């Protein structure tokens, strides 16, 4: 059985970059955006399907449940890598239901690495990408799974299961990668490794771009984008999203979310 850990976080916050950095470790394999959580969820849900409860509710089938579900991971990941430590990447792992599923199957809570970034910079990054792709910009396009769901799910889950998460800031990944990698290795119980910040950065596999060129393009060396949020966002956008960094709040371990404010659309 592999050592299985998880990678979630916020989009445009260095998830692809961090994956590439961690994959330089000879013991660690980080997937591209992976369907494994959905594969596991569908099999897990079978044990709670009312149409089959007469079959799955027996003592024998209850004894089968956990070994079977654990074996799915072994079968899945052995086709991808021989590395002993797996970090499965998908933002849906940070949903409360998936955290509780993992805990039920593995008998312990998951360890989820989550890059975060000031939300004004995330929105700025998206707006720049839309301009480069000649797409009409509107915050409406970031509702749903592209951004908003990830933010709200992470905020909610972090309030309930904070010990499951290691939040790492994008600026720290760029400015002090060795310190961040040391923290991650300590969090998942792996020995630290020396990261060569001068070596070229390249994703080990191609990610889906969802129709937006440059969505997962990595700079060859570590650097911030240099985009100025105050110059690119409208005043309304900047004022709205500058208050969305829940991890900076004095008391972020609270339930509930701030009402969403629709940003003005602009070209």
Instruction: List, for residues 33-75, the tens digit of each pLDDT value.
Output: 999 999 999 999 999 999 999 999 899 999 999 999 999 999 9
Would the pLDDT of 160 be above 80? yes
CA dist., res. 189 & res. 191, Å (int): 7
Please answer whether residues 129 and 212 qualify as being in contact, where contact means their C-beta atoms are separated by less than 8 angstroms. yes
What confidence score (pLDDT) does residue 77 get?
95
DSSP E strand stretches across the chain: 3-7, 28-33, 85-89, 112-116, 165-169
CA dist., res. 267 & res. 255, Å (int): 35
Listing DSSP states for 24-76 in one string gives TSTTEEEEEE-SHHHHHHHHHHHTT-GGGHHHHTSHHHHHHHHHHHHHHHHHH
Domains of the chain: 3-248 (3.40.50)
What confidence score (pLDDT) does residue 129 get?
86
> For the ranges 151-160, 163-172, 227-236, which has the lowest average pLDDT?
227-236
Q: Please state, rounded to an integer, the average pLDDT across all residues of the chain.
A: 85
Question: Which range has highest mean pLDDT (116-130, 140-154, 156-170, 218-232)?
Answer: 156-170
């Amino acid at each position: 059985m592999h050592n299985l850990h998880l990678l979630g976080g916020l989009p445009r916050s260095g998830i692809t970059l961090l994956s590439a950095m961690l994959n330089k470790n000879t013991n660690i394999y980080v997937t591209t955006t992976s369907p494994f959580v959905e594969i596991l969820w569908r099999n897990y849900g079978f044990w709670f399907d009312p149409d089959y409860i007469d079959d799955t509710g027996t003592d024998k089938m209850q004894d089968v449940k956990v070994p079977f579900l654990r074996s799915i991971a072994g079968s899945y990941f052995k086709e991808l890598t021989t590395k002993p430590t797996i970090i499965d990447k998908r933002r849906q792992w940070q949903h409360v239901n998936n955290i509780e599923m993992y805990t039920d199957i593995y008998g312990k809570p998951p360890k989820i690495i989550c890059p975060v970034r000031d939300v004004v910079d995330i929105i700025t990054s998206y707006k720049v990408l839309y301009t480069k792709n000649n797409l009409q910009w509107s915050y409406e396009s970031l509702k749903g799974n592209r951004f908003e769901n990830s933010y709200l799910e992470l905020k909610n889950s972090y309030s309930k299961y904070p010990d499951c998460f290691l939040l790492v800031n994008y600026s720290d990944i760029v400015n002090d990668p060795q310190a961040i990698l040391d923290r991650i290795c300590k969090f998942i119980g792996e020995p630290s490794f020396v990261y060569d910040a001068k070596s070229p950065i390249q994703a080990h596999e191609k990610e889906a771009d969802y129709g937006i060129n440059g969505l997962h393009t990595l700079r060859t060396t570590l650097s911030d984008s240099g985009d100025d949020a105050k110059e690119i966002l409208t005043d309304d956008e900047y004022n709205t999203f500058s208050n969305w960094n829940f991890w900076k709040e004095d008391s972020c371990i609270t339930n509930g979310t701030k009402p969403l404010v629709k940003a003005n659309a602009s070209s």
